[in-house]
Amino acid sequence: MSISQSIRSFLYLDEYKMYSISSQIFEGLTDYIIKLETHTKHDAEEQKGPLGSGNIIADILSHERGTTEKRILHDYSYVLFEEKLISDGKVLIIDKENYSTQIQKIEDFNFIKVTGNATINDIESLIHIIEEINNLSEAVIFLSTFKERENSLDELKKELKNTKNRNDQAQIKQRMKSLENVKNITREAGVSLDPKMAEKLIYVLKYAYGDQLELQIPIGSELESSIRVLFSALLKVDMLKEGKDLFIKKYSRISEKNFSLFGIIAQSSLGQTSDEILEDTNAKNFLTDSSEIPTQPQIKEAIFEMISKMEDLEKIMVGKLPNEIVIDPIAIYREL
């Protein structure tokens, strides 16, 4: 098996998941994983399975030489891992050029590689922005209009000094007060959020999403909604090669460059409408139908009923979108 000639710049790698699967596709690797706990270096030639890529990965796993070295070796190990799965025909490969034909094969595969422009949904940052949106808007308005307001105030002060009429003076003072009231300017500009609305929105986001970090890759034209597909993956922050904030600042929340997302297909609602998804989950009945609740339930029945209703509520808030495919991510990288 030859190594791919493309160069990968890794942004995310779930090493445990990769090695767990590798131990099953490369014979003999399990022995090396177990022996790794002894922190000894093994000779890859002692592998009981066939020689080749499995030996290389085993040797990678048997080194304990520091974080930098291990990360580099993990990256190389991933290349072998992905190449093996692709060469065995186990990976559905999708990009904007082939999605309309390849997406029809989604039910025939467990592994998938999707390439396209990515959107980063950082719920923790979103909540923080909503919490500070009014203060932030005021600060932006204050700074961006400072010179203009100061010039206007200077003119009004001169006008006030030269005005003798009390009514005119009162009007000028009112205009000056309005210029100094940045909060009102922000509200009039339509860039502030009602505090009660912000409070309720934050509550829902914290309950439904917590501090999750999600990567989404939409494939297909918005004008072709019947075949437009959204691939989404929840990320473990500690699996990022760099910190979350640096990751977002480098590539933006909506990337200009293509990302490749490799992982396991976890959920798919391809072809379902929103109404069908709600009907499948009985979510519609959550708000209206209580006829199934026993009048004198046993404790276990009551617990199961409560869990069922909680599941329905959560599916209303965070359930799959129509034509969404949820991926359990193993790696995210750019091909250079």
Per-residue confidence (pLDDT) for residue 201, from 0 to 100:
82
Q: What does the alpha-carbon distance between residue 46 and residue 66 come to, in Å, rounded to a whole number?
A: 24
- Residue 10 β-bridge partners: 333
Q: What is the pLDDT of residue 270?
A: 62
The residues, any chain, with a CB within 8 Å of residue 285's CB and separated by 6 or more, are: 312
Return phi, psi of residue 273, to 5°.
Answer: -85, 170
Element (H, E) at 137: helix 123-144
288: exposed, middle or buried (Cβ count in 10 Å: 0-12, 13-18, 19+): exposed
Contact between 213 and 237 under an 8 Å Cβ cutoff? The reply is yes
Task: Indicate the DSSP class of residue 240.
Answer: B
Residue 169 pLDDT: 82
pTM assigned to the model: 0.65
Q: Apex CA 324: angle with CA 322 and CA 330, to 5°?
A: 165
3-state helix, strand and coil shares in percent for the chain, rounded to the nearest 5: 55, 20, 25
Residues 6+ apart with CB under 8 A from 189: 137, 141
| Contact criterion met (CB below 8 Å) for 305 and 312 | no
User: Strand, coil or helix: what is 328?
Assistant: strand
Q: d(Cα 62, Cα 32) in Å, to the nearest integer?
A: 7
Q: Give me the residues of the chain with pLDDT under 70, please.
A: 1-5, 27-72, 221-227, 269-320, 322
**CA nearest neighbour of 136 among 199, 198, 186:** 186
Whole-number Å distance between alpha carbons of 196 and 217:
33
